[in-house]
Structure 1
Amino acid sequence: MATRTRMTPEQRRDQLLDLGAELFASHPYDEVHIERVAELAKVSRGLLYHYFPSKRDFFVALLARENAALMDETAPDVHLTPAEQLRRGVEAFLDHCVGHEFGVRAVFRGAVSSDPDIVAIIADSIDRQVERILIATGAPATPAPMLVLALRSWIYQVRAASYEMLSDKRASPDDVTRMLMAAFVGTISGLSPEVVPPAMAAVLGTLVTPR
């Protein structure tokens, strides 16, 4: 007779979040009943609510976990040039989206939420990505507001393109990376020269891969 493997609390929590990601990725938030997660995991509702007291707590935990994984997998290699760091960062972002499709879809659904904790998680992710680019390109401690606006706008484009790539399987990560690198050049080139750090300006021409 087969014996059931007992999970650690961390393993059980991850299992529940994995199952929840699938539900939130394919259904609007209001249509998801997290009791269904307990059914899929074959655990009691009491155990589910032990880990996550409410659906909101569950969803916030899911987004926090996905954001932590994203930031870890896209961490820059400081030994690379700024141009290489940027390209590798985009490639890692797209790889993460492919490897964590359910979680990424759930995050994108959560991006339209007005819940302050959810808004804060997504805002923190974008802020940290902007900071990484600023550090890599030697920007001053207080960068020009237009530069920050431009970088934030480009990161929103990266996120949107990643989501569209998941929806349209005809789009390859290589093609999306090439497009986003060109978009970065166009975005920064549209700024006044005085707001662009010299290191960032110096690498713009190296970012677009010829066809």
Structure 2
Amino acid sequence: MNSSQQRGAVHPQMRGTDRSLARRAELIAIGRKLFADTSYDALSMDDIARHAQVAKGLIYYYFTSKRGYYLAIVEDSVGDLVTQAAGGLDLPPVERVQRTIDRYLRYAEHNQAAYRTIVSGGVGFDAQVHAIRDGVREAIVATIAEGAYDRRDIAPLARMGLLGWVCSVEGATLDWIDRPELSRDTMRELLVKTLGGTLRAIEELEPGYPAPSPARREA
């Protein structure tokens, strides 16, 4: 084998790893849809294997158990949502907040099964699942806080106000993707305005956290 062939060669173990990762990602994608439409307790491993058209042992091989499979689905979905919503740090505060809300809605609109899995699917009593979902809420709160206040570490009252707004957004977004009677642009503007009300309430109760002024967008 010459040097150019050696450079272009792929080690069989690497090819196997790529195939394994692709297979795992495929199973997670299937699971997103299953758990979005059916509760955790209603799905058996036999059901999952039948829908995925694989041997049940393959799911155990990648995820150990049904719970492990579900947790992997939730964690993967959460990572995608947070990545989509975060960013835009070079924008002025008001535009940064609007961008976060728009990206959040875009993710929910184009990844409906994953969004439902994050917000409402599966094992409601499971502490680890709750921790994952709480983590995505805290990540969105931090992203909004950074856009509104240029900082992520905020006072308890400000955090609680933003967390309450995020929880209301989850319910509204679930209803919106089920009944998309409003355009995404209209939905975004509605959520931006309700966030404005939340920020003004925070400012009234905690003057050290002034609400960003829309005028700053033109600065």
Displacement of 1:197: 4.9
TM-score, structure 1 normalization: 0.85
Structure 1 distance, partners of 2:152, 2:70, is 35
8 Å contact 1:13–1:51 — kept in the other structure? Answer: yes
Structure 1 distance, partners of 2:74, 2:161, is 25
Letter in 1 for 2:79: A
What per-residue deviation string (whole Å, max 9, x for no partner) do you get for residues 97-132 of structure 1? 111111111222238712111011111111111122
8 Å contact 1:16–1:41 — kept in the other structure? Answer: yes
Which of 201, 206, 211 pairs up with 2:211?
201
8 Å contact 2:49–2:55 — kept in the other structure? Answer: yes
Displacement of 1:45: 1.0
- Please state whether the residue corresponding to 1:162 is helix, strand or coil: helix
Q: Describe the shift of the 1:66–1:140 C-alpha distance in structure 2 as closer, same or farther (beyond 3 A).
A: closer
Structure 2 distance, partners of 1:196, 1:124, is 27
> Structure 1 regions of 5+ residues with no counterpart?
1-5
Structure 2 distance, partners of 1:181, 1:111, is 30
Q: Give the structure 2 partner of residue 3 of structure 1.
A: none
Tell me the number of residue pairs that the alignment of Structure 1 and Structure 2 aligns.
201
Question: Is residue 143 from structure 1 mapped to residue 154 from structure 2 by the alignment?
Answer: yes
What per-residue deviation string (whole Å, max 9, x for no partner) do you get for residues 34-90 of structure 1? 332322332211111101222111111110000000111112211101111111111
Q: Give the structure 2 partner of residue 51 of structure 1.
A: 62
User: Within 5 A, what are the aligned runs for 1:67-78?
Assistant: 67-78=78-89
Percentage of identical aligned residues: 24
Letter in 2 for 1:202: P
Question: Is residue 17 from structure 1 mapped to residue 28 from structure 2 by the alignment?
Answer: yes
User: Within 5 A, what are the aligned runs for 1:171-186?
Assistant: 171-186=182-197
Q: Which moved more, 1:24-33 or 1:57-66?
A: 24-33
Q: Give the structure 1 partner of residue 198 of structure 2.
A: 187
Which of 120, 144, 150 pairs up with 1:133?
144
- Please state whether the residue corresponding to 2:41 is helix, strand or coil: helix
8 Å contact 1:111–1:119 — kept in the other structure? Answer: no
8 Å contact 2:96–2:147 — kept in the other structure? Answer: yes
Q: Give the structure 2 partner of residue 63 of structure 1.
A: 74
8 Å contact 2:143–2:152 — kept in the other structure? Answer: no
Q: Give the structure 1 partner of residue 6 of structure 2.
A: none
- Please state whether the residue corresponding to 1:190 is helix, strand or coil: helix
Structure 1 distance, partners of 2:53, 2:151, is 53
Structure 2 distance, partners of 1:80, 1:177, is 18
Q: Describe the shift of the 1:80–1:108 C-alpha distance in structure 2 as closer, same or farther (beyond 3 A).
A: same
- Please state whether the residue corresponding to 2:181 is helix, strand or coil: coil
Structure 1 distance, partners of 2:72, 2:200, is 38
Q: Give the structure 1 partner of residue 109 of structure 2.
A: 98
TM-score, structure 2 normalization: 0.82
Q: Describe the shift of the 1:154–1:46 C-alpha distance in structure 2 as closer, same or farther (beyond 3 A).
A: same
Structure 2 distance, partners of 1:108, 1:97, is 10
Q: Give the structure 2 partner of residue 118 of structure 1.
A: 129
Structure 2 distance, partners of 1:137, 1:192, is 11
Q: Which moved more, 1:118-127 or 1:168-177?
A: 168-177
Displacement of 1:180: 0.4
Q: Give the structure 2 partner of residue 161 of structure 1.
A: 172
